[in-house]
Homo-oligomer: A and B are copies of this chain.
């Protein structure tokens, strides 16, 4: 029953989680419109890619969902939240590659591990 010292794969997964939590809570609440969505997506990806062991971050701020939300509203912008995001983050740590994604599930942004490769 288990050593307590984390494996490299476990550390890689921890690092991947840090990136996801960082990305989400740094940028949630940002004012966003279909016009400003592309620059926000680029900044989110490039800023999180600065973090250690982060190979690649892909962010799509979904214009279709933004337009649907704004169609129900009198405003021409809204606040960034999980509903408007599709994110993939790839972390490399000591030869382990972890792929993670964020998807909506039951109205909540679910962050999940997709694969762990040594």
Contact indicator B10/A17 (Cβ below 8 Å): no
A12 to chain B: closest CB distance in Å?
8
- Mostly helix, strand, loop or mixed at chain A's interface? mixed
Cβ contact within 8 Å between A50 and B25: no
Copies in the complex: 4
* Chain A residues with a Cβ closer than 8 Å to the other chain, count: 61
| Bound Cα distance from A79 to B31, whole angstroms | 15
Contacts of A44 on B, CB cut-off 8 Å? 43
A residues adjacent to B (C-beta < 8 A): 1-2, 4-7, 9-11, 13-33, 35-36, 39-40, 42-44, 46-51, 73-77, 79, 81, 98, 100, 106-108, 111, 113, 115-118
